[in-house]
Chains A and B, each alone.
Chain A
């Protein structure tokens, strides 16, 4: 059963002198447990597409149905709450709150969800174990390498127990070893926990590991291979 259904999705930016059609009629479905990589040349609309999937940006046309909820119909307040409980995010950078420790960063999202201190405590340890950073629990993010920070971001995204995790170029700032490490962790989580990942990337190594590849060009899907 698909957890995300995208129907005839269009995004036109009207902010510039000429309107830019960044996403131009995408129809696609995502199943639970998929590990999908969205690729394509710069400016093809990857970020725009992911932002709409994550409810960060409003589509100009079309709809996105997540678990039978049409998110384009949600009011902005409901949408924030929907994101909190259903979608995990990993951005290219600036994922973490610099003044909080690794542990507190992960706890933070659970606190927003209203999870009890006791359960938070337990879950933080499990998650940090999974991303291999249990020993860095009480460090501030600036003490961690870029790759380690991204692993914390993945743990933070997982902490919310989302239906899927969106990641926009999560490895763009990482060296090849860190990239591989992060991908291995994501793949492992995908296998053992059936976590659904959808991420945009330029990186060949990332593409190779994906189980499904969506190729975008000029805002359209030109190839969808599993």
Chain B
């Protein structure tokens, strides 16, 4: 009964309730949408990192990680790859030879990570080949082809089919040069990646640096779903227990390789909660104010209720329910608008290219697809209930202080 009265009471002053409901719904919509936006941005960064650069899990010689020295290799990669492929959730496995070096044109040079890959297998492991904007991804049989990022091409003032000179050391520490022809240009959302990575055939790179055939620096494991990452990692640790124990191998997940991206995601999640709380605190003042007006307006009625025997708990409960319903109505409206707007924006994307230059340098995409966990809506609702409770405390206390004798005397 109390909650029914409370619900009906909301609609006594439709304009006033409408205003506060509208401000709650718009405030929450703004907050939730901004959070979905940030979340979409962070997720995209993670997806790009996994799909274009790292895949889900990588294996290295632990020494290699310390100083990027190509000489620290994984032995017999083929056999290991066969063992890895037996794990159910593994989609594809590739291996890379990695050498740091310098890419130069006639005008300038730039330090790069030279990745020796097997293009057919690499295509199944990462989606970098989809990001080719000119040329192809080491497709035909011509010798000494190189695929470079658009950013690097511009910096070196080169174009498709230009020659680029790689300067690098062999593993026996002799400086060597090799001429490559640019046959493919890629562009990802991460310009830092684009300017510092080049891709050549694994066999050719091995020849240049004098690395033996059955060695590699990096085994890259792509999974059918990123959710399996932890699980597969522990399977790999079991599988290669001996090698890991002898410090010949280390298994790392994408977020261990690049913790900053994961951190950005977690930070944006924490920030989301702070953001929602700030919005709710701001709204709670409006809600409190509305409820105070309600209480002051109903002095006689509340006095009458106390006089006829409604106790303080019930009276406070009635005011709390009214505050709660007011807030939840606004919150529901806000959530419905949010769900609608986010699902539309998730399909169409929000194009930030006019202002996206700076974004790309940090690996953020210029088209953002906002997304949000359904659970988040429930968190918001939970916070709204708490807010309503806190916002009702002061008006309820005010009402409880009424002396029924005074209240019923108050003139119309």
Contact = CB atoms under 8 A, between A and B. Distances in A.
Contacts of A93: 300, 412
B304 A95 contact: yes
Contacts of B143: none
A51 B404 CA distance: 9
A145 to B, nearest CB: 17
A80 B306 contact: yes
B309 A99 contact: no
Interface in A132-154: none
A107 B304 CA distance: 16
Contacts of B405: 51, 56-57
B12 A98 contact: yes
B5 A100 contact: yes
A97 B309 contact: no
A155 to B, nearest CB: 13
B5 A91 contact: no
A164 to B, nearest CB: 14
Contact of A99 (B8, B305, B408): B8
A22 B307 CA distance: 20
Given A77-B312, A97-B5, A99-B9, A91 B306 contact: no
Given A57-B405, A91-B408, A99 B308 contact: no
Given A47-B409, A111-B1, A85 B304 contact: no
B314 interface: yes
Contacts of B305: 97
A148 to B, nearest CB: 18
Interface in B162-200: none
B309 A112 contact: yes
A109 interface: yes
B258 interface: no
Nearest to B301: A94
B208 interface: no
B312 A80 contact: yes
Contacts of B5: 97, 99-100
Interface string B282-316: 00000000000000000011001111111110100
Interface residues of A, number: 32
B309 A81 contact: yes
Contacts, number: 70
Given A91-B304, A99-B8, A160 B309 contact: yes
Interface string B1-39: 100010011011000000000000000000000000000
A170 interface: no
Interface in B211-225: none
Given A80-B310, A81-B309, A85-B309, A56 B1 contact: no
A45 interface: no
A112 B412 contact: no
A13 to B, nearest CB: 11
Interface in A51-108: 51, 54, 56-57, 77, 80-81, 83-85, 88-89, 91, 93-95, 97-100, 104, 107-108
A83 B1 CA distance: 20
Contact of A83 (B300, B308, B312): B308
A84 B12 CA distance: 27
Interface string B382-410: 00000000000000000000011100110
A97 B1 contact: no
Given A47-B409, A91-B304, A160-B309, A112 B314 contact: yes
Contacts of A84: 308-311
Contact of A81 (B11, B311, B403): B311
Interface string A160-187: 1000000010000000000000000000
Contacts of A47: 409
A54 B304 contact: no
10 contacts: A56-B307, A80-B311, A83-B307, A84-B311, A89-B304, A91-B307, A94-B301, A94-B412, A100-B5, A112-B314
Interface of B: 1, 5, 8-9, 11-12, 300-301, 304-312, 314, 403-405, 408-409, 412
